[in-house]
Amino acid sequence: MERTLISAIKRSGKELLNYFNKPLKFRIKESQSSIVTMADLKSDSLIVNMIRNQYPVHNIISEESGFINNNSEYTWVIDPLDGTSNFASSLPWFGTLITLFEDSEPYMAAAYLPARDLLYFARKGRGAYRNGTHLKMKKQISLGNSLCAFSIDFTPDEHQLDIQMTIFRNIVKASRNIRSTNSLVDFLYVAEGNFGACINLNTRIWDISGLDLIINEAGGLLSDISGRRIQYYLDEESMERNYAVMAGPEEIIEELAGILRQ
């Protein structure tokens, strides 16, 4: 399964580079913040076909293909192109995410940034690695001494937008400064310790489950915005369920949880 995961994610990255920095048509999905391109679909088809050829009885949840439920204990969760808006704008902040669940827990995960040829891999209880080198999060002293990534998406709900902007304002006041790619890159910078924390209020299971395992195995924590560990549900509603999350060292997560309660 590890060989299949690594092979699929690297082949996906190679496929994405065939479309990168070239004119691309796109269509809007749920909102103006959510688009899909031919690159998303090609990457998705490649990964899904590789997994189904090797493990035809496993489940698959893919952002573009939906939920294939074979009632297996193993479920592959796929984001074939994370950071599509960046990709479509020829920005190198994009990649592929694949998570293998055993029952309801992430067991193995990989994230690949093809523009930089960086492969992140983690297996539950066995650590996290970047291009084969052990990845251990560099601890930040405090949020006030750290960069923090903060991401939100379009919403027509003015009340919800006001709440999100209040959170943003409080994080601006509490951190050294804000940076954001609104993609897997932000979370991987947390795993490496470049960012002290990351907050993203609009994610789905394919956006975060693999990053959760990588960050956890690197010595950090990914939680909901109350500071609780994420509980994943692999069911028909997985495609629609939103996760508002934050990631960082445990000490900063505790600090953030206090700020977000304000």
Domain spans in the chain, listed from the N-terminal domain onward = 2-134, 143-260
High-pLDDT (> 90) share of the chain, %: 82
Whether residue 224 contacts residue 230, with contact meaning beta carbons closer than 8 Å, is answered with yes
In 29-133, which ranges are continuous DSSP H helix?
A: 38-54, 84-88
What does the pLDDT look like over 108-144, one tens digit per residue?
Answer: 999 999 999 999 999 999 999 999 999 998 776 789 9
If one compares 183 and 30, the residue with the highest pLDDT of the two is 183
The DSSP annotation for 43-57 comes to HHHHHHHHHHHH-TT
Please say if the pLDDT value at position 31 is more than 60.
no
**What is the pairing mode between strands 147-151 and 177-179?**
parallel
SS3 166: helix
- 8 A C-beta contact, residue 188 and residue 111: yes
List, in sequence order, every beta strand (DSSP E) within 128-194. Answer: 128-130, 133-134, 147-151, 177-179
CATH number attached to the domain at 143-260: 3.40.190.80
Asked if the 2-134 domain carries CATH number 3.40.50.800, the reply is no
Burial label, 168 (beta-carbon count in 10 A; 0-12, 13-18, 19+)? middle
Query: What pLDDT digit, counting tens, does each position of 45-79 carry?
Result: 999 999 999 999 999 999 888 999 999 999 999 99
Q: Is the dihedral of CA 241, 159, 172, 85 positive or negative?
A: positive
Has residue 186 got a pLDDT over 70? yes
Compute the Cα dihedral for 202, 204, 206, 211 and give only its sign: positive
Q: How confident is the model at residue 29 (pLDDT cuts 50, 70, 90)?
A: low
Q: What pLDDT does residue 155 have?
A: 78
In this model, does residue 32 exceed pLDDT 90? no
User: Is 81 in contact with 87 (CB distance < 8 Å)?
Assistant: yes
Q: In this predicted structure, what is the pLDDT of residue 34? A: 62
Q: For the stretch 44-66, what's the b/e string if a residue is b when 16 or more beta carbons lie within 10 angstroms of its beta carbon?
A: bbbbbebbbeebeebbbbbbbbe
Q: Flag whether pLDDT at 30 surpasses 70.
A: no
The pLDDT score that the predictor gives to residue 26 is 66
| Maximal CA-CA distance, the chain | 51
Helix or strand or coil: residue 249?
coil
Report the sign of the C-alpha dihedral through residues 31, 33, 38, 40, in that order: negative
Average pLDDT score over the chain: 93
Per-state percent for the chain, helix, strand, coil, to nearest 5: 35, 30, 35
Element (H, E) at 255: helix 250-260
- Cα 194 to Cα 137: distance, rounded to the nearest angstrom: 9
